[in-house]
Amino acid sequence: MSGSPKYSRAQLERQRRERLEQERRQRAAEEARRRQEAEAREQQRRLEARRQQVQQQSDTLKRTLSQQHPHLYPNAADRLHQQLQQLQHTLAQAPSEAAVGQVSRQLEQLQTDLHRHLAQKRRDDEAKKQQAELQHQKFALEELQRQQLEIADGAKFAPNREASLSQKLESVKQLIQSGDPSQVRQPLHAAEQALAAYRQEVAERRAEWQRRQGDAQENLSRLQALIAGLQADPVVMRWQSAAVGQLDQHRQRAEQAIAAEQFEEVAPLLATCQQQRQPLIDAANQSQLQADQRDYIADSIAQSLESLGFGIIYREAEHPDNPESAVILGAASHSGKGISVSIPTEGEIFYDVEGYSKQTAAAVGGGSAAVCDEAEAVIGEMHEHLQGEFGVQMGELQWQGKDPNRRLRQADRLPRSDSARSRQA
């Protein structure tokens, strides 16, 4: 028998293979449940964080409303308070980030309404104090300038209208200084219309920006929950940690896109991760199933060797850092003969024998045999035990240079331990 490595192919019988597959499906179902729980926890954490953020926004508006109450008409103040209370109640019951985002946008609108009511009452109060048209016009100009400053992010959302409004306000200011109220009326009215158009455009574009931001944040939350679920799955992380790391890079890019206000880039990143998620999980489960089969075969071989009188002296992974590594078994008999077996996750099983001389020698029990044939006979007997006791079907033993017409000469079997004899009996 050649000194080259020996190998054969292992195949589980159907009943045992189906049992392993059933066990994998059961474990996969439990792993899926843990992923779902991790995703739900992450979504709930994000929801509560967002709710707290909007609650702070609500508290700030409530303080502002209380401070500005003397400067509002009673009906307007009561209406604003009622609307704020309703929004606070809605916020407490909001079931999703999208619902919380809607409350945030309504609070923004309520803030705008507050400024509008404050501006209206300021204008009315000033009109009562100053009867002179010119003084009223001067106040109107100041009010327009004040309202222009109160419009947040105007330069961001409507820069052209902001520049046009500033030019109109400067023109009104110069006409007021001329002292002729009749020359101020039309330009002041035009400035008021320009302010209204400016506020409307800013509000519309801000709402659209907030909608896009909200969609991006929601997609990011789903992406973060997806990653958290995969990271909580030990089987996925054992076999597909690098792939999960690549998906996590998509999450980082999504966060960077939101920070850069490139909101449209988030949805494709989420879609990519969603498309890759299930194939990644399936690949991990398939790898785990192959590893389970490898371990079952390794256990079966170890027990079979012990039944033949061998003692297992080591069992270890060929590459400990690689979960796909072959399992290496080392066994030795009392007579000093040894067999080492390499069991991979897929492919041929390799044998290496020691202490079997290629020369003709006296066989145990009398007669003579080629001891290399004896090693082949032992491996063949082990194959029979694997199939009979464990359902592991081993192929024909092969080695490089094997004569296809070669017939195994009769060889006595290796001596067995007492425990092995008792199991045989």
By the 10 Å C-beta count (0-12 exposed, 13-18 middle, 19+ buried), 305 is classed as: buried
Spatial separation of the C-alpha atoms in residues 411 and 377, rounded to whole Å: 7
pLDDT of residue 413: 36
Q: Which of 324, 222, 238 lies closest to 281 in space, CA to CA?
A: 238
Q: What averages of pLDDT result for each successive group of 10 residues across the chain (425 residues)?
A: 65 81 87 85 82 86 89 90 89 84 87 90 72 78 87 84 89 86 88 91 90 94 96 95 95 95 94 95 95 93 92 92 92 89 91 64 33 74 90 83 53 34 30
Residues whose CB falls within 8 Å of the CB of residue 36, separated by 6 or more in sequence, listed in order: 229
Q: Do 258 and 213 contact (CB within 8 A), yes or no?
A: yes
State the pLDDT at residue 337. 87
Beta partners for 157?
none
254 φψ region: left (φ > 0), alpha (ψ -120 to 50), beta (else):
alpha
d(Cα 24, Cα 104) in Å, to the nearest integer? 46
d(CA 80, CA 82): 5
Other CB atoms within 10 A of residue 249 CB: 10
Q: How far apart are CA 24 and CA 286, in angstroms?
A: 9
3-class secondary structure, 5: coil
Instruction: Report residue 226 as tokens.
Output: 């997806």
Residue type, 266: V
Rounded Cα distance between 216 and 192, Å, is 36
d(CA 156, CA 199): 12
d(CA 280, CA 44): 25
In whole angstroms, give the CA distance from residue 381 to residue 363.
17
Assigned token pair, 187: 């330009």
Q: Supply the DSSP symbol for 171.
A: H
pLDDT recorded at residue 417: 32
pLDDT recorded at residue 355: 67
pLDDT at 357: 47
Residue 130 burial (C-beta neighbours within 10 Å; 0-12, 13-18, 19+): middle
Helix, strand or coil, per DSSP, at residue 9: strand
Distance between CA 4 and CA 9 in Å, rounded? Answer: 16
> What's the start-to-end Cα distance of the chain, in Å?
31
User: Quick one: pLDDT at residue 266?
Assistant: 95
Burial of 406 per CB tally in 10 Å (0-12, 13-18, 19+): exposed
Amino acid 359: pLDDT: 38
